[in-house]
Amino acid sequence: MPTIPATPSETGPEPLDRPGPAASPPAVGSTSAGEIALPDAQPAAADLARAAATAAGNLIAPPAPVRLGDVVPAPERVTPDAAADFTLTGDEAIRVSPAGRAVAEQLAALLRPATGHPLPVTETAAPGPAGALTLTVSDAARPLDTGAATDGTDLGDEGYRLDVTTDGVRITAATPAGLFYGVQTLRQLLPAAVEHRTPVTERWTLPGGSIVDRPRYPYRGAMLDVARHFFAVPDVLRVIDHLARYKLNHLHLHLTDDQGWRIAVPGWPRLATLGGAGEVGGGPGGHYTTDDYRRIVRYAADRHVTVVPEIDLPGHTNAALVAYPELAPDRVAPPPYTGTEVGFSYVDPASERTYDFVADVLAELAALTPGPWLHIGGDEAFKVKGAAYTGFVERVQAIVAATGKTVVGWHQIAPAAHTDGRVLQWWGTGGDDPATAEAVRRGARLVLSPGNHAYLDMKYAPDTPIGHDWAGLIDVRRAYDWDPATHVTDVPPEAVLGVEAPLWTESVTSLPEIEFMLFPRLPAVAELGWSPRSTHDWSGFRERLAGHGPRWAAAGITFHRAPEVPWPAEPDTPHLTTPTIPTQPGPDTAAQPA
Ligand code: TNX
């Protein structure tokens, strides 16, 4: 019987800029494995660690522990060069062209804690000397046309090229987003110990060769339901870190449902204060202030993740009716709801007050949200049928258009008239839906979240302690083995905008439980969204994925030890000492994996 491991004691998000050596007292120790474990507390201690690592490295020069192709999601093109491994000495600088500055700081923040290396960031467009990590944002990269990198590949808005040679590492992209994804790849090419947040002794060798990479789909997402159970801002930021690690670029927040309304709306204060005060099972719930929400979208944007806010309408609205009974068909406030049934509540589609409410809420959300999307729900409105339903959706679509945003809705909105750019989110469990195919013919595009493959709230196996099974059991192979391009009958591949893995949270109550449902299925869906179909291969994927177990363990990420994945026998945890960066938020280093 799998168990969900203990909550990491400190599980905040990764800071964008983690300072280098900090001024807290040192806690130098030696672990039972005989490795030196140092905090990044004192330059002298970091120097010692570096000297030890270099001395150890000089004794033998084994090949890089990670192969160039061991990346998730699989890159488009990988050309290994066994003679070109590069080992960090600690003396490297990160050289970056001005547009890539923030990404360079992010790379430094990822590498400094475990390596103890200072990794100063230098802003320069000039080519770097040997031994540098060079990041370049260049328009020439679309199509790529930079010296040795010339091969005519158009890296587009999110692609990158990474070259590891005996001289150093170079990442080139046309945009900061592409550079950021190159950094995520670089991170995976270092030994798993790089995920520790305190210095460890390790030979930091990168496998030689080149990767040229860009995504299959522009929309690669995950959804977090913060309505059934509320999750505070640090939990959401940590989920954003998880998305970014796997090159996902959209976070859909399911902000409202029967059990809770989670976003403050200035003109309608009781939505959050009354409507937010509860959750499934009767807990206290909560809501995001507009500042909380701004913090989430800013943190996401810094990691090239677009937030897609959802206000679920016209059903799934009990919490709104508790707060404002004038929206209810009978104008009577229902009791707060803490159960898990669906389909019983709705705002009155025949009342003008309802459209005032919708317009105010969506205008506020549009103003707070930098991304192009507003998600209007539309699922399971069992009591609003036929013309009442399509008429409602069409009015709401027009309200969204008036805010300047593009509408997204669950695929039930298909029968409503087309409006510019609209996107349907497919969550069916078959592959056949004439109404959806017809909406696509009228111009809609699809984001694919098939319930029987992409739903992260489904159990892995009958004995999974949390989750649902109405769409079946979803083990890692099932999460991986489907093709977004051909999944829905009579929908051409060009109509598919991308994929999204939703996590509904009726039974999910904490960050470790979120992570347990995400890992290892989120990387599977990420690979479907990013990697070319030609790389799709279950046996290769499970091998690559296995190498991520030690990374999650080191980062304090809870995960399900899925039996179909050949995890390394020993979790890579012996380096650990007590966390020594108490003043900074960050993943806990002492957590044990599942
Ligand atoms: C269906 S999927 C729902 C949600 C539930 C979910 C549970 C969809 C658009 N609606 O309200 O939380 O099933 O798996």
pLDDT digits (tens, 9 = 90+) for 368-377: 999 999 999 9
> What would the pLDDT profile of 475-524 be if each residue is shown by its tens digit?
999 999 999 999 999 999 999 999 999 999 999 999 999 999 999 999 99
Query: What is the whole-number distance in angstroms between the Cα of residue 369 and the centre of ligand 1?
Result: 24
> What pLDDT was estimated at residue 128?
72
The rounded distance, in Å, linking the Cα atoms of 407 and 423 is 6
At residue 67, does pLDDT exceed 50? yes
The rounded distance, in Å, linking the Cα atoms of 437 and 430 is 13
> 181: closest CA among 145, 146, 156?
156
**Chain centroid, CA 394 distance in Å:** 31
Which phi and psi angles does 428 have, rounded to 5°? -65, 170
> Is residue 177 exposed (0-12), middle (13-18) or buried (19+ Cβ within 10 Å)?
buried
Rounded mean pLDDT, 577-587: 33
Sign of the CA dihedral running 414, 416, 418, 421: negative
pLDDT > 70: percent of the chain: 84
Q: Higher model confidence: residue 333 or residue 151?
A: 333
> What pLDDT was estimated at residue 151?
57
Under the banding of pLDDT at 50, 70 and 90, the label for residue 144 is very low
For residues 479-492, one letter each, b for 16 or more C-beta atoms within 10 angstroms of the residue's C-beta and e for the rest, the string is: bbebebbebbeebe
Q: Which of 345, 379, 429, 459 to mutate to test the pocket of ligand 1 (most atoms within 8 A of CB)?
A: 379
> What would the pLDDT profile of 255-274 be if each residue is shown by its tens digit?
999 999 999 999 999 999 99
Q: Higher model confidence: residue 331 or residue 23?
A: 331
Query: What is the whole-number distance in angstroms between the Cα of residue 448 and the centre of ligand 1?
Result: 14
Q: Higher model confidence: residue 506 or residue 58?
A: 506
> What would the pLDDT profile of 417-440 be if each residue is shown by its tens digit?
999 999 999 999 999 999 999 999
Q: Higher model confidence: residue 570 or residue 279?
A: 279
> What pLDDT was estimated at residue 150?
46
Under the banding of pLDDT at 50, 70 and 90, the label for residue 569 is confident
Under the banding of pLDDT at 50, 70 and 90, the label for residue 34 is very low
The rounded distance, in Å, linking the Cα atoms of 377 and 530 is 25
At residue 452, does pLDDT exceed 60? yes
Is 564 a catalytic site residue? no
> What pLDDT was estimated at residue 129?
78
Which residues form the pocket of ligand 1, taking CB atoms under 6 Å from any ligand atom? 342, 379-380, 410, 427, 455, 457, 468, 504, 506
Query: What is the whole-number distance in angstroms between the Cα of residue 343 and the centre of ligand 1?
Result: 10
CB 206 within 8 A of CB 188: no
pLDDT > 90: percent of the chain: 80
- Residues with Cβ within 8 Å of 350's Cβ and at least 6 positions away in sequence, in order, are 329, 388
Give the number of the atom of ligand 1 that is nearest the alpha carbon of residue 228: 12
Rounded mean pLDDT, 515-539: 98
> What pLDDT was estimated at residue 46?
58
> What pLDDT was estimated at residue 570?
61
CA atoms within 13 A on the CB side of 312: 33
Q: Which of 412, 500, 504, 508 to mutate to test the pocket of ligand 1 (most atoms within 8 A of CB)?
A: 504
> What pLDDT was estimated at residue 3?
43
CB 164 within 8 A of CB 209: yes
Q: Higher model confidence: residue 107 or residue 145?
A: 107
Q: Which three-class secondary structure state does DSSP give residue 500?
A: strand
At residue 305, does pLDDT exceed 50? yes
Query: What's the one-letter identity of residue 357?
Result: F
Q: Hey, whose CA ends up nearest to atom 8 of ligand 1?
A: 379
Which long-range contacts (C-beta less than 8 Å, at least 24 apart) are formed by 387-390?
388/349, 388/350, 389/314, 389/349, 389/415, 390/415, 390/416, 390/417
CA atoms within 13 A on the CB side of 427: 24
Under the banding of pLDDT at 50, 70 and 90, the label for residue 62 is confident
Q: Hey, whose CA ends up nearest to atom 10 of ligand 1?
A: 379
Partners of residue 304 on adjacent β-strands: none
> What pLDDT was estimated at residue 325?
98
Q: Higher model confidence: residue 522 or residue 16?
A: 522
**Which member of 105, 380, 394, 564 is catalytic?**
380
At residue 48, does pLDDT exceed 80? no
Return the residue matching tokens 């508790």.
322
Ranges of beta strands (E only) in 201-329 are: 205-206, 209-213, 219-225, 250-254, 256-257, 260-261, 306-313
> What pLDDT was estimated at residue 413?
98
Give the number of the atom of ligand 1 that is nearest the alpha carbon of residue 457: 14
Query: What is the whole-number distance in angstroms between the Cα of residue 396 and the centre of ligand 1?
Result: 21
Under the banding of pLDDT at 50, 70 and 90, the label for residue 45 is low
At residue 580, does pLDDT exceed 60? no
Largest distance between two CA atoms of the chain: 80
> 379: closest CA among 410, 339, 415, 414?
410
At residue 5, does pLDDT exceed 50? no
The rounded mean pLDDT for the chain is: 88
Tokens, residue 207: 């496998």
